[in-house]
Amino acid sequence: MRIAMLAPISWRTPPRHYGPWELVASLITEGLVKIGMDVTLFATADSITSARLSAVAPKGYSEDPTIDAKVWECLHIASVFEHADQFDIIHNNFDFLPLSYSSLVETPVVSTIHGFSSERILPVYRKYNRNTHYVSISDANRHPDLDYLATVHHGIGMEQFAVSDSRDDYLLFYGRIHPDKGAAEAIQVARETKRRLILAGIVQDESYFNEMVKPHLGKNGVEFIGPVGPERRSELLGRAAAMLHLINFDEPFGLSVVESMACGTPVIARNRGSMPELIRHGETGFLVNDLAEAVRAVASSDKLDRASIRAHVQRNFSQEEMVRKYVIVYEKMLAMRAK
């Protein structure tokens, strides 16, 4: 089976720190290669892969401001479909734009829908609903107007995460600094529980950071360390008492949640979006409805068994499990095409 894996070009694949869609595209690609699949990864030229790399854009446009996003996205997507006849399946991890090319080729296309950035993009998904295939990353993130071939939860490379031999008492916020992700709420919970708080991630909303986060830095043990790459991630997650994921939107998946639990660290999350699909309440973390419940959950999180938390991720959210499910998707697509 010959697979064309289309990654975004906002960041390198895999990303140096932030870049969840690129990370997932990389994990699928490397997992498929490991089981003997013939995969070509379409990504930026500085990407790292054991698959065949096909690149047009030299770097990610979020990393190099001289790169015009629209121009290079256009060239990047076209490069996949211009070579469509060389593949059995095109796997789109790029969002909605590649769908507009899908009717122009015979090769079947499957799109992993990583989330809906806006209701305004839905007309594209609706138009190509019948002649392409969609995979959701959680049952919570399915749109009622669309048909789905499967739900495939993201998986992670378990070897990159470990349960720490020693644990600290700090709480951790690990994600984008943006109102959706709940950094301000994490600060409030840390203050009420009198725990130190480390905030790690890119600043995606400068005004939010300046108004809601920055005034608290250096006070009551609140520290901002910026984005964290793979070399520090496991230790940071593994030593935390708990991770706070007090989101203000319906999270499509939540890689940081699974990464935290892979280190045995419980997650205290607002009960929205995909969170009930990832977290077993009272076993691997806590699903809360308000900050008062989050405050109470902090003390309870100390009692959870860290080895059991990691085992939950190993069973349900490993790279191998994700790849296994995508192979089933590909086989189903080819069987449907053969009819």
Give all domains of the chain, ordered by start, each with its CATH number: 2-155+318-338 (3.40.50.2000), 158-316 (3.40.50.2000)
User: Rounded CA gap, 278 and 151, in Å?
Assistant: 13
Mean per-residue pLDDT pooled into runs of 10, the chain (339 residues): 97 92 97 98 98 97 95 97 98 96 96 91 96 97 96 97 91 97 98 97 96 95 94 94 97 96 98 98 98 97 96 98 98 88
Neighbours of 329 (CB within 10 A): 18
User: Rounded CA gap, 33 and 24, in Å?
Assistant: 14
Q: pLDDT value at position 153?
A: 98
Contact of 229 with 202, CB cutoff 8 Å:
no
Name residues whose C-beta falls within 8 Å of residue 173's C-beta, 6 or more positions apart in sequence: 181, 182, 183, 186, 187, 197, 198, 199, 200, 201, 243, 244
> Residues, the chain, total?
339
Contact of 182 with 270, CB cutoff 8 Å:
yes
At residue 125, the 3 state secondary structure works out as helix
Q: pLDDT value at position 195?
A: 96
Q: How would you list the strands of the sheet with 150-151, edge to edge?
A: 52-54, 38-42, 2-6, 89-92, 109-113, 133-136, 150-151
User: Rounded CA gap, 211 and 97, in Å?
Assistant: 35
Q: pLDDT value at position 116?
A: 87
Q: Taking the complete model, does pTM exceed 0.95, yes or no?
A: no
At residue 81, the 3 state secondary structure works out as helix
CA dist list (Å): 327 to 31, 35, 154, 288, 336? 10, 10, 14, 35, 14
Q: pLDDT value at position 23?
A: 95
What residues does 89 pair with on adjacent strands? 3
